[in-house]
A and B are shown apart, each in its own frame.
Chain A
Amino acid sequence: MKTSILMTFFLLLMAAPVSAKKLKKAKPVRYLNKIYGQVHQNSSRFSRVISTFECGQPFKVQHFGDDEFSKVTYASYEGYILTSHLSKRRPKDCWQDQYRKYFDFLNLGISEMHHWGRLQDLFIEGSVMP
């Protein structure tokens, strides 16, 4: 009896760090690389917009989608964003940072920020490379 209790205790002790490691496994962080970007309720460009974010905004990626969208979270926000709008490192060419005062003086309203983010979603992008 004593030995079985000891064995169980020993096994639990061994398993503890593994489960802790599993818990600690952080979700990858990706940064918004467009001037403004939008998180949608579903993985569609025309799905309801949950919120608009500024360039450089970090998101925790819950799931990299097979389609063009990834599931992300930020604070209490959870939704889908175009994978091409995310980058591994914080972008250094955000207009809001590069031309801070110029951008400040443009004095964009909430509606304009929303439309600017919307625009990024609706562009069909392509390139011709050899």
Chain B
Amino acid sequence: MKKILIFTLLLSGNTSTLSQEKALPVKNDFVDFNNIKSVLKKDGLAKTVKKKQIKHKKKVKIKKNKTKQFYNLPHNDVFWKMMTEYWLVKNSVILKWDFHKPDYGLGDYFEQFLKNMGEYGVKYKILYINSSNITHFGFPFGKDEYLFVISVPFIKIMDLSKLQISILLYEDLTRLKFNQFKSKFDPVLLGKLKEGNFYQKKFPAAEIKTFQEKVDKVVFESGFNFQEQYQVTKHLNNVFKSNKKFWQNYYSLLEKIDDLTKQNLMYKNYVKIYPSPELQLNWINPIKK
């Protein structure tokens, strides 16, 4: 009984304090901070709060920028390298570049050849393929960096010497230097794929697919036009004129290719990519001038 009485008393005491709190005047010196603002100002608390707020904002901004960086699109030079390698990976079955082959010693020879041509500051990679889908092709691979893909069956059927292979690769290098490959791509499409950021935007998956399809088309179907081919052939003719051995090899190489494309159905497509060996011979034939 006593316990119940004490409990009721305690309860009633609690409710009375609650009702007292509710009955407190609105303007309470202890609650209203406006009254102690001047004191706080003197204490420098407001300043500290402001500093902390600015610091926090900076932190949030830095964090956001860091997150944004994760969504960066590749830089121009990295883009071509990354996309070319990606294309090679995707086409590994068609191109058959993963095969056992001997070291033909082309790397060192080509380096010496480029030195003879005065092409300093050039970095290159060569990839042999075990397919005739591509005979030879040059890809941009970064600033002053290039990738050359060359077909081993093509080398064998043509019985190419190291010098003739080097001439073919030099022809590809010239095309790249004249920007003939990059110019095949829509600048708007390229703009969506490199030098930017896709934070809070859709990943350009469709654009990458379009880009890869365009590479397919250029490499396997359309290649280069007559005007581009004329520009390259004339350039090589002018460069090789000062070196009889190189010029003769270039001429005989074009003759070989011309014969091959006319006789072998497997290489009929060559003329579509690089038109046309016959015309090239005419363009550089000194007698026909």
A55 vs B15: C-alpha distance when bound (angstroms)? 69
Q: How far is the CB of B56 from chain A (nearest CB, A)?
A: 26
With CB as the reference atom, state the residue of chain A lying closest to B67: A101
User: Are B111 and A128 in contact (CB-based, < 8 A)?
Assistant: yes
A129: interface (CB < 8 Å): yes
Chain B residues with CB below 8 A from A100, complex form: 70
5 closest pairs, A vs B, by CB?
A: A124-B126, A105-B203, A123-B125, A127-B123, A100-B70
Dominant secondary structure at the A interface: helix
A77: interface (CB < 8 Å): no
* Chain A residues within 8 Å of B, Cβ to Cβ: 35, 46, 95, 98-102, 105-106, 112, 115-116, 118-119, 122-130
User: Are B110 and A123 in contact (CB-based, < 8 A)?
Assistant: no
A84 vs B203: C-alpha distance when bound (angstroms)? 34
* Chain B residues within 8 Å of A, Cβ to Cβ: 70-74, 78, 82, 85-86, 88-90, 92, 97-98, 100, 103, 106-108, 110-111, 114-115, 119-128, 147, 198, 203, 205, 208
A-B contacts besides A98-B74, A102-B74, A124-B127, 6 pairs, CB < 8 Å:
A100-B70, A101-B70, A122-B97, A124-B103, A124-B106, A128-B123
A124 vs B203: C-alpha distance when bound (angstroms)? 33
**B120: which of A102, A118, A125, A128 is its contact (CB, 8 Å)?**
A128
A100 vs B85: C-alpha distance when bound (angstroms)? 17
23 A–B pairs (Cβ distance < 8 Å), ordered by A: A98-B72, A98-B74, A99-B72, A99-B78, A102-B71, A102-B72, A105-B205, A112-B89, A115-B89, A116-B89, A119-B88, A119-B97, A119-B127, A122-B127, A122-B128, A123-B126, A125-B125, A126-B107, A126-B110, A126-B111, A128-B119, A128-B120, A130-B121
Chain A residues with CB below 8 A from B123, complex form: 125-128
User: Are A129 and B120 in contact (CB-based, < 8 A)?
Assistant: yes
With CB as the reference atom, state the residue of chain A lying closest to B123: A127
With CB as the reference atom, state the residue of chain B lying closest to A113: B89
Chain A residues with CB below 8 A from B88, complex form: 119
Q: How far is the CB of A122 from chain B (nearest CB, A)?
A: 6
With CB as the reference atom, state the residue of chain A lying closest to B105: A124
Chain B residues with CB below 8 A from A119, complex form: 85, 88-89, 97, 127
With CB as the reference atom, state the residue of chain A lying closest to B193: A102
Chain A residues with CB below 8 A from B115, complex form: 128
Q: How far is the CB of B69 from chain A (nearest CB, A)?
A: 8
A128 vs B90: C-alpha distance when bound (angstroms)? 30
State whether A128 and B73 are in contact (beta carbons under 8 Å apart), knowing that A95-B82, A122-B98 are contacts in the complex.
no
Chain A residues with CB below 8 A from B98, complex form: 115, 118, 122
User: Are B74 and A99 in contact (CB-based, < 8 A)?
Assistant: yes
Chain A residues with CB below 8 A from B72, complex form: 98-99, 102
Q: How far is the CB of A35 from chain B (nearest CB, A)?
A: 7
User: Are B127 and A123 in contact (CB-based, < 8 A)?
Assistant: yes
With CB as the reference atom, state the residue of chain A lying closest to B202: A105
Q: How far is the CB of B110 from chain A (nearest CB, A)?
A: 7
**B198: which of A98, A101, A123, A130 is its contact (CB, 8 Å)?**
A101
A122 vs B70: C-alpha distance when bound (angstroms)? 30
Chain A residues with CB below 8 A from B74, complex form: 95, 98-99, 102
With CB as the reference atom, state the residue of chain B lying closest to A97: B70
Chain B residues with CB below 8 A from A105, complex form: 203, 205
Q: How far is the CB of B195 from chain A (nearest CB, A)?
A: 12
With CB as the reference atom, state the residue of chain B lying closest to A121: B98
User: Are B107 and A101 in contact (CB-based, < 8 A)?
Assistant: no
